[in-house]
Amino acid sequence: MEAQIKKSNSCILHVNGMHCAACELVIEKKLKRVKGVTFVDAKLTSQTVEVKGELEGSPEELAEEFTKLVETDGYTITVEK
C-alpha cells in the first residue's frame, strides 16, 4: 500500500467587522471547525485571518465559505480589503 501525501496550504484573508480581542477568538473558534483546517490565527491589528490546512477551493471560495460561518456575528471575510 502506497503512503498518501496530504497537501497542506494556507491563505491570508481580510476580516471586516473586528473591533476587539474577543473578535479574534470568535473567528478562530468558528473557522477551526471547518473540515481540513489545522490552524487559524486572526489578527485585530491587521484585520486579517491566516488559515492553514488541507484547504479546497480558491481563496474567493474559501472567503465565501468562511463568511457564512461568521456573518451572524457581524464579520465578513474577503480576499481584498
Q: Where are the domains of the chain?
A: 10-78
pLDDT cut 90: percent of the chain above it: 79
Residue 78 has pLDDT above 60, yes or no: yes
Axis-axis angle for helices 59-70, 21-31 (nearest 10): 110
Question: Tell me, what's the pLDDT at 57?
Answer: 87
Q: How many CB atoms lie within 10 A of CB 41?
A: 15
CATH number, domain 10-78: 3.30.70.100
Residue 52 has pLDDT above 70, yes or no: yes
Task: Show the beta-strand stretches assigned E in 20-80.
Answer: 37-43, 48-53, 76-78
Higher per-residue confidence, 15 vs 9: 15
Dihedral, CA atoms, 54, 78, 32, 69, nearest 10 degrees?
A: -120
Mean pLDDT of the chain: 90
